[in-house]
Structure 1
Amino acid sequence: MNRTSPFPTDVGRGQQSSVLATNKVIRNTYMLLSVTLLFSALTAGVSMALALPHPGMIITLVGYFGLLFLTTKLRNSAGGIVAVFALTGFMGYTLGPIISHYLNMPNGTQTVMTAMAATGAIFLGLSGYALTTRKDFSFMGGFLMVGILVAFLAGLGAIFFSIPALSLTVSAAFVLLMSGLILYETSNIIHGGETNYIMATVTLFVSIFNLFTSLLHLLGFMNDD
Structure 2
Amino acid sequence: MREQDYAHSPSRVEQTAVSSVLRNTYGLLALTLAFSGIVAFMAQRANVPYPNIFIVLIGFYGLFFLTAKLRDSGWGILSTFALTGFMGYTLGPILNRYLGMANGAEVVSSAFMMTALVFCGLSAYVLTTRKDMSFLSGFITAGFFVLIGAMLASFFFQISGLQLAISAGFVLFSSACILFQTSAIIHGGERNYIMATISLYVSIYNLFVSLLQIFGIMSGDD
TM exceeds 0.5? yes
Q: 1:214 aligns with which of 174, 196, 210?
A: 210
- Amino acid paired to 2:203: S
Q: 2:14 aligns with which of 13, 18, 39?
A: 18
What is the CA-CA distance between 1:129 and the residue it aligns to? 0.4
User: Residue in 1 aligned with 2:169?
Assistant: 173
User: Residue in 2 aligned with 1:115?
Assistant: 111
1:46 aligns with 2:46: no
Determine if contact 1:105/1:224 at 8 Å carries over to the other structure: no
- Amino acid paired to 1:188: A
Rounded to whole Å, the distance in 1 between the matches of 2:91 and 2:153 is: 21
Rounded to whole Å, the distance in 1 between the matches of 2:112 and 2:139 is: 27
Rounded to whole Å, the distance in 2 between the matches of 1:90 and 1:164 is: 32
Determine if contact 1:159/1:167 at 8 Å carries over to the other structure: no
1:183 aligns with 2:179: yes
- Amino acid paired to 1:61: L
- Amino acid paired to 2:61: F
Rounded to whole Å, the distance in 1 between the matches of 2:21 and 2:168 is: 31
Which stretches of structure 1, 4 residues or longer, exceed 6 Å deviation after superposition?
A: none
- Specify whether residues 212 and 14 from structure 1 end up closer, same or farther in structure 2 by C-alpha distance, changes over 3 A only: same
Deviations 1:118-147 (A, max 9, x none): 000000000000000000000111210221
User: Residue in 2 aligned with 1:32?
Assistant: 28
Identity percentage of aligned residues: 50
1:67 aligns with 2:63: yes
What is the count of residue pairs matched by the alignment? 221
Rounded to whole Å, the distance in 1 between the matches of 2:49 and 2:113 is: 26
- Specify whether residues 126 and 89 from structure 1 end up closer, same or farther in structure 2 by C-alpha distance, changes over 3 A only: same
Determine if contact 1:84/1:202 at 8 Å carries over to the other structure: yes
Q: Give ranges in structure 2 of 5+ residues lacking alignment.
A: none
What is the CA-CA distance between 1:160 and the residue it aligns to? 5.0
Determine if contact 1:137/1:184 at 8 Å carries over to the other structure: yes
- Amino acid paired to 1:111: V
1:129 aligns with 2:125: yes
User: Residue in 1 aligned with 2:147?
Assistant: 151
What is the CA-CA distance between 1:163 and the residue it aligns to? 4.5
Determine if contact 1:134/1:187 at 8 Å carries over to the other structure: yes
Q: TM-score, normalised by structure 1?
A: 0.94
Q: Give ranges in structure 1 of 5+ residues lacking alignment.
A: none
What is the CA-CA distance between 1:75 and the residue it aligns to? 0.5
User: Residue in 2 aligned with 1:99?
Assistant: 95
CA-atom RMSD in angstroms: 1.4
Q: 2:194 aligns with which of 187, 190, 198?
A: 198
